[in-house]
Amino acid sequence: MATPRHSSHESLSESLAPSPASRQASLRVKAYGRAARRFVAALLVVTGLLSFSYTGLSTYLATRLVARPHLDVDDTPLSRGLAYHDVTFPSREDHLQLRGWLIPGVLPDGRLTVNRALVVAHGADQNRTDPAAGLLDLSADLARHGFAVLAFDLRNHGDSPAAPFSLGYFEQRDVLGAVDFLRSAARPYPELGPTRIIGGWGVSLGAISLLLAAAREPAMRAIVSDSGYPDVAPILEREIPKAGGIPPLFTPGALLAAQALYGIDFYAIRPVDAVGRIAPRPLFFIQGDADTFNPPSNLGVLTRAAEAAAGAHVESWMVHGAGHAQAYHVAGQEYVTRVSDFFDAALGADASAG
């Protein structure tokens, strides 16, 4: 019997057929490929979820940061035996209608005056009376020393309209609006004549707002900054995680979200960069050495920055035993005397006193 012969095609097919070993290797490669694709897909899903969570939490924190509770105004200068007039005026640039009151100064002979006026700005979560800092009492003390006092509620505080809380970024416009109001014909007490010269006093948030505004407005002739900050970002980087009970890694996201959603660049709020532009107008920095919120060393930071400007006139006072925004409560009459003497020297005597 003849032996079967294989065709050349059959021989070629047999030679090209994968061996069991190569088939196993191919299966392993395919398995690895599928595993890699599953891993990449899972990684993308996890990354997306983390990004979504980070963005969502950052947005939540930013919203909490800019939305603050209102403290109602429940007292007036009348309770301190002083005349006053309720006022409403627009902030500069964005024209929010701000509420406040104008307290005429009282001269030694009992006559009223608006010749020298002080714009006073309260702290965060307070209002024009700022009971935490004693602002209504201080306003009365300054009025009895012959200074007219324009005390008002910053945006999103007291009786002023709701708006994003921005630690001075937008609130400086409120201070500038107060200056515009004092220089306008709409100011009450026209029978007392015009306001000749304007100074400003601010505490904490109010101090930041005042310093930023004064750097832009030369009509503000002298500034008292009580418990002011040189730079806002370090305070927020410390306080946001503490208030929210979250890791610090979410703070940059919250600040970026605040900029994207509300137009607030918290990193740009640096009074330390602005104080040099106030010179040669006089500056008086006050700080408590027991302040656990705003480090007492910041007094030196602001003072040195202001003194570096040509023609600078800078005073500073570290009040022993005073916590944040508590220097007036602690120092009492000495505080009133020092602040009044500063404004007397910087603004000159009341021109209507003669």
Is the distance from CB of 144 to CB of 114 less than 8 angstroms? Answer: no
Q: Write down the pLDDT at residue 93.
A: 97
Residue 250 confidence class, pLDDT cut points 50, 70, 90: confident
**Structural tokens at position 298:** 């910041």
Q: How many CB atoms are located within 10 Å of the residue 151 CB?
A: 29
pLDDT tens-digit readout, 42-70: 655 555 555 656 678 888 888 989 998 88
Question: How far separated are the first and last CA of the chain, in Å rounded?
Answer: 147
Q: Where are the alpha helices (DSSP H) in 193-292?
A: 205-214, 233-244, 251-262, 271-274
DSSP code, position 162: P
Pick the more confident residue, 40 or 132. Answer: 132
Question: What is the mean pLDDT of the segment spanning 272-301?
Answer: 98
Q: Write down the pLDDT at residue 160.
A: 97
Is the distance from CB of 313 to CB of 279 less than 8 angstroms? Answer: yes
Is the distance from CB of 39 to CB of 234 less than 8 angstroms? Answer: no
Output the pTM of the full model. Answer: 0.85
Kindly tell me if the per-residue pLDDT of 194 is higher than 80: yes
Pick the more confident residue, 203 or 45. Answer: 203
Question: What is the mean pLDDT of the segment spanning 113-139?
Answer: 98
What is d(CA 157, CA 28) in angstroms, rounded to the nearest whole number?
68
What is d(CA 258, CA 266) in angstroms, rounded to the nearest whole number?
8
40-49, 194-203, 241-250: which has the highest mean pLDDT?
A: 194-203
Q: Write down the pLDDT at residue 48.
A: 57
Residue 96 confidence class, pLDDT cut points 50, 70, 90: very high
Residue among 220, 176, 178 at smallest CA distance from 198:
220
Strand ranges (E), the chain = 85-90, 97-103, 105-106, 112-113, 116-121, 148-152, 197-203, 220-226, 283-288, 314-319
What is d(CA 92, CA 88) in angstroms, rounded to the nearest whole number?
13
In this structure, of 53-67, 171-185, 230-244, the range with the lowest mean pLDDT score is: 53-67
Kindly tell me if the per-residue pLDDT of 200 is higher than 50: yes
Residue 19 confidence class, pLDDT cut points 50, 70, 90: low
Alpha-carbon distance values, 245 to 4, 74, 181, 242 (Å): 85, 33, 42, 5
Q: Write down the pLDDT at residue 41.
A: 61
pLDDT tens-digit readout, 313-339: 999 999 999 999 999 999 999 999 999
What is the β-pairing status of strands 197-203 and 148-152?
unpaired
Question: What is the mean pLDDT of the segment spanning 309-313?
Answer: 97
Question: What is the mean pLDDT of the segment spanning 298-304?
Answer: 98
Q: Write down the pLDDT at residue 353.
A: 62
Question: What is the mean pLDDT of the segment spanning 326-354?
Answer: 94
DSSP code, position 80: G
What is d(CA 93, CA 129) in angstroms, rounded to the nearest whole number?
26
Q: Tell me the average pLDDT of the chain.
A: 90
Residue 1 confidence class, pLDDT cut points 50, 70, 90: very low
Question: What is the mean pLDDT of the segment spanning 9-28?
Answer: 56
What is d(CA 292, CA 272) in angstroms, rounded to the nearest whole number?
20
Question: What is the mean pLDDT of the segment spanning 101-116?
Answer: 97
Q: Measure the CA angle with vertex 114, ends 109 and 116; round to 5°.
A: 95
Question: What is the mean pLDDT of the segment spanning 279-289?
Answer: 98
What is d(CA 163, CA 91) in angstroms, rounded to the nearest whole number?
12
Q: Write down the pLDDT at residue 264.
A: 96
Kindly tell me if the per-residue pLDDT of 140 is higher than 60: yes
